[in-house]
Copies of this chain bind each other. A is one copy, B any other.
Amino acid sequence: MIQVAVLGYGVVGSGVVEVIESNKAAVNQKAGNELNVKYILDLRDFPGDPHEAKVVHDMNVILDDPEVQIVCETMGGVKPAYEYSKKALEKGKSVCTSNKELVAKHGPELLQIAKANNCNYRFEASVGGGIPIIRPLNDCLTAEKIENITGILNGTTNYILTKMERAGADFETVLKEAQELGYAERNPEADVEGYDARRKIAILASLMMGKNVDSEKVFTEGITRITADDFVYAKAAGMTIKLLASAKPVSEDEVLAMVTPCMVSKENPLAMVNDVFNGILVTGNMLGDAMFYGKGAGKLATASAVVADVIDCARNMGRTLPCYWEDVDAKFASVDEVERSFFLRVEKSAADAVLTAFPGAKEVVVADRADAAYITAPVSEKACAEKCVALGNALLSKIRLA
């Protein structure tokens, strides 16, 4: 029997206990051993909960119990999750986590500590919820040079953009509705400003580069300025608008990483990733495009990914599984020179100014509008920004094309 401790009895933590129980036979078969949740660490008590007796308030109880071999860290946040994870690994206990913030910040250090102690630090659940994406990068696409990763990595913003598209509604209206339904937080900043997505793309980019990609250095723009008007033109152009997180190696140790709303052609497989779903498109030099799609969040989907990691740890006791993520910082390529087309929506009065500033721009024609919209020929980020300054207040929207 393998004893497991769960840190944090919140949404994901209670899901982990539920998955281990509900799928007991399948889980134990795959683990090659019986898994048992011995402790649940939480500040709270849970009177009446069937696992009430397992709840402890002191991390040392878990650290000092040599029977505990695997720890599920489902607390979130850096403090005290970082310290707890580190101490557990130092004692040779494997740690499986859904904590993207901690992985993005201290992943390589914790991986090294795991290696030094012949155990594992696993984080499949930190990106894409229940969608397998960490293992595919680490263990499946091993014969590939990864040329690009582009994903819809945040369910909340994807839900909002999907609703805006379908209902023709504005951002604020849909955000409010999403908050009422519990799909968006009361303080939605981390989602709508793209901070959640940039942590996740930083983790994927780190695995792609084999080096540390600092999430805070990722060029990031949220979705708060996307309007119902933008969707009217997107539709007319055979496109939709998605918050895309992308990373691309430009050399051995230099990465180009961005999180921005993008106009996406309906031909792009990411265009059909709707509602709270996530999709991650990985381009390999041999494989071409592969996409991984599914529920990017949710109690049981995320917990299922944590338990799959627990099973991996159980299968590999005393053995550290390979994970290529050195504690060396990747350099960031400047986005300034990246060339692409832009969608520009302007006051009708500025139409000539757009066509002069952006030779070859094509109008997106929609009848009976007081504004006008264009898709530019490929132009660098920097040049586009400079030209847009000249448009002044007549510029209503600027959205990158994927």
Q: How far, in Å, is A97 (CB) from chain B's closest CB?
A: 15
In chain A between 28 and 74, which residues have their CB closer than 8 angstroms to a CB of chain B? 29-32
Given contacts A286-B300, A288-B295, whether A26 and B139 have CB atoms under 8 Å apart is: no
**Inter-chain contacts of A310 with B (CB < 8 A):** 143
B311 & A23 in contact (Cβ 8 Å cutoff):
no
Instruction: Judge if A307 is at the interface, Cβ distance under 8 Å.
Output: yes
Given contacts A288-B295, A322-B315, whether A304 and B19 have CB atoms under 8 Å apart is: no
**Inter-chain contacts of A304 with B (CB < 8 A):** 141, 143-144, 284, 286-287
- From A129-137, A171-179, A189-197, A337-345, the one touching the partner chain is A129-137
**Inter-chain contacts of A143 with B (CB < 8 A):** 19-20, 23, 26-27, 30, 303-305, 307-308, 310-311
**Inter-chain contacts of A254 with B (CB < 8 A):** none
Instruction: Judge if A142 is at the interface, Cβ distance under 8 Å.
Output: yes
CA distance A293 to B281 in the complex (A): 9
A301 & B288 in contact (Cβ 8 Å cutoff):
yes
Instruction: Judge if A1 is at the interface, Cβ distance under 8 Å.
Output: no
A290 & B131 in contact (Cβ 8 Å cutoff):
yes
Instruction: Judge if A335 is at the interface, Cβ distance under 8 Å.
Output: no
A292 & B290 in contact (Cβ 8 Å cutoff):
yes
Given contacts A286-B23, A286-B300, A312-B139, whether A294 and B291 have CB atoms under 8 Å apart is: yes
Cross-chain contact of A289 among B139, B295, B305, B307 (Cβ < 8 A): B295
CA distance A269 to B152 in the complex (A): 15
CA distance A311 to B136 in the complex (A): 13
A141 & B132 in contact (Cβ 8 Å cutoff):
yes
A30 & B324 in contact (Cβ 8 Å cutoff):
yes
Q: How far, in Å, is A214 (CB) from chain B's closest CB?
A: 23
Q: How far, in Å, is A354 (CB) from chain B's closest CB?
A: 33
B293 & A287 in contact (Cβ 8 Å cutoff):
no
CA distance A22 to B310 in the complex (A): 35
**Inter-chain contacts of A269 with B (CB < 8 A):** 272, 293
**Inter-chain contacts of A32 with B (CB < 8 A):** 322
CA distance A269 to B142 in the complex (A): 27
B311 & A130 in contact (Cβ 8 Å cutoff):
no
CA distance A143 to B298 in the complex (A): 15
Instruction: Judge if A165 is at the interface, Cβ distance under 8 Å.
Output: no
Instruction: Judge if A230 is at the interface, Cβ distance under 8 Å.
Output: no
**Inter-chain contacts of A284 with B (CB < 8 A):** 130, 304
CA distance A135 to B300 in the complex (A): 21
Q: Which residue of B lies closest to A307 (CB)?
A: B143
Instruction: Judge if A170 is at the interface, Cβ distance under 8 Å.
Output: no
**Inter-chain contacts of A132 with B (CB < 8 A):** 132, 136, 140-141, 290
A124 & B140 in contact (Cβ 8 Å cutoff):
yes
Cross-chain contact of A135 among B26, B139, B294, B307 (Cβ < 8 A): B139
| Interface pairs (9), CB distance under 8 Å | A22-B286, A23-B285, A30-B142, A130-B284, A132-B132, A136-B136, A142-B312, A286-B304, A288-B294
Beyond A143-B310, A284-B304, A292-B293, 4 extra complex contacts between A and B, CB < 8 Å: A22-B285, A131-B290, A141-B308, A288-B294
User: 9 closest A-B pairs (Cβ-Cβ)?
Assistant: A290-B294, A143-B307, A132-B140, A291-B293, A30-B142, A286-B304, A130-B287, A286-B300, A272-B272
